[in-house]
Amino acid sequence: MSHVMNTYSRLPVAFVRGEGAWLWDREGKRYLDGLAGIAVNTLGHAHPRFTAALTAQIGKLIHCSNVYQVNEQELLANKLSLLTSMQEVFFCNSGCEANEAAIKLARMYGHKQEIESPAIIVMEKAFHGRTLATLSATGNRKVQAGFEPLVSGFVRVPYNDLEAIRLVAQNNRNVVAVLVEPIQGEGGIRTLDIEYLQQLRKVCDEQNWLLMLDEVQCGIGRTGKWFAYQHSGIMPDVMTLAKGLGSGVPIGACLTAGSAAGTFQPGNHGSTFGGNPLACTAGLATLNIIEHDKLMAHAEVLGRFIREGLIAALQGVNGVKDIRGQGLMIGIELDKPCGELVKMALAKGLLVNVTADSVIRLLPPLVMTQDEAKQLLDILCPLIKEFLQA
């Protein structure tokens, strides 16, 4: 009997090693990784230069408290600032912590403007994490049920609906920020229109609201640019990162710019592990390898290859509603719940995921090759057809 707490319904497989886009289980069976630990293993598994960078750092210094200067943290903050033109970075250990930092920051920003009960606009079908504040911001009752009372101070609107935002602006003087994923991951690979994001930026400027983008899943090169918002030419005031930033080493980050910068002062927020030398080395190595190996351009090209392959094989097939996404963040929506497909794919040696009940989600590592992507399509497309015909 396992003593691991029963918080996941786990698939009957345990991996013991990986290489590139491949994983091996305890029995020696090989699997093609179309999920990358849910957008975490940016560089795939056991990347030689990543491993070397981590190994060298472990031999020097793993952790030191944030009461001291942390060299690697400064290097990673500088690098992130260079890639975004944002000003400050707070480091933590996960996506929900990065969003907690953003939520706290928005509240403090509001209080500084003498708004006593600051509120944050959040979206339907959003996912921001499992802590109390972030599950309250999340737009999924399954995540919230049983944990009431929820944290107050969130106003929910439909995704991609500018009129709804304008209506809140007219009626609610407590709003201080909007928190939104440029591409909803858990919500089913749904992308904000570029025009919406540009208009949202304008509304935020007019209303003095912070535009806070959750790029925990869609950031770090996955969509073909460093960050998904960069497809729209706007700048956020706050951006949260985690998942792919450390290629598997836990790290989260909350970045600020413009009027959000300078909100936190010593004593306002903190984290024991946040931004330790090992995690920041992982972040720096990830960004440097993405840059050096031109993995963003690769993500764009490979993403298009996979989407085109899916369209060629599945468009018009009865039961396939939509094939969508950007770069290596891809969703195939069916007209019925399809969780079963995850097990069918596993049996054929392919790792995929299903989210929002009926959306097959692909989040391959950025190092996947075109030949491997072809193998992915060759396994997945017939399986989807088989599933729909059953």
Give the binding site for ligand PLP (CB under 6 A): 94-96, 99, 127-129, 181, 185-186, 214, 216-217, 242
Q: Which of 50, 91, 214, 264 is catalytic?
A: 214
Q: Which residue is nearest to ligand PLP (CB)?
A: 95
Q: Measured from the CB atom, is 127 or 227 closer to ligand PLP?
A: 127
Q: Which lies closer to ligand PLP via its Cβ, residue 279 or residue 377?
A: 279
**Marked catalytic residue, from 33, 50, 154, 243:** 243
Question: Distance of CA 258 to CAs 43, 236, 314, 381, Å?
Answer: 32, 9, 45, 46
Look at the chain and count its residues. Answer: 390
Query: What minimum distance in Å lies between the beta carbon of 71 and ligand PLP?
Result: 25
Q: How far is the CB of 97 from ligand PLP (least distance, A)?
A: 7
Shortest distance, CB of residue 22 to ligand PLP, whole angstroms?
23
Give min distance, CB of 260 to ligand PLP, in A: 18
Tokens for 136?
Answer: 């309250």
| Helix axes 340-347 and 370-389, enclosed angle (nearest 10) | 130
Q: Residue 97 — φ and ψ, nearest 5°? A: -65, -35
Q: Which of 272, 293, 279 lies closest to 67, judged by CA?
A: 272
The 3 state secondary structure assigned to 289-318 is: HHHHCCHHHHHHHHHHHHHHHHHHHHCCCC
Q: Which is nearer to ligand PLP, 89 or 383 (CB)?
A: 89
Active-site residue, from 127, 154, 227, 264: 127
Write out the DSSP string of 60-74.
H-S---TTS--HHHH
The long-range contacts involving 381-384, CB below 8 angstroms and separated by at least 24 positions, are 381/309, 381/310, 381/313, 381/314, 383/341, 383/344, 383/345, 383/348, 384/314, 384/317, 384/320, 384/332, 384/334, 384/341, 384/360
Task: Supply 207's token pair.
Answer: 């209303």
Closer residue to ligand PLP (CB): 20 or 364: 364
Residues β-bridged to residue 183: 191
CB-nearer residue toward ligand PLP: 96 or 260: 96
Token pair, residue 351, equals: 């790792």
Q: Is 127 a catalytic residue?
A: yes
Please report, for residues 75, 255, 276, 316, the alpha-carbon distance to residue 82 in angstroms, rounded to integers and kept in the order given: 11, 12, 20, 44
Beta bridge partners of residue 359, listed in sequence order? 333, 355
- Least spacing, CB of residue 242 vs ligand PLP, in Å: 5
Residue closer to ligand PLP, measured from CB, 242 or 255: 242
- First-to-last CA distance in the chain? 35
Residue whose CB is less far from ligand PLP, 35 or 377 = 35
Nearest distance from C-beta of residue 129 to ligand PLP, angstroms: 4
Map residue 350 onto helix, strand or coil: strand
SS3 150: coil
Q: How far is the CB of 313 from ligand PLP (least distance, A)?
A: 28
Both structure tokens of 304: 């298009």
Residue 205 Cα to chain centre, angstroms: 25
Q: Of 341, 343, 347, 340, whose CA–CA distance to 314 is shortest?
A: 341
118 vs 175: CA distance, rounded Å: 6
Alpha carbons 366 and 295: distance in angstroms, whole number: 6
Q: How far is the CB of 358 from ligand PLP (least distance, A)?
A: 18
Closest CB to ligand PLP among 130 and 385? 130
Catalytic residues: 127, 214, 243
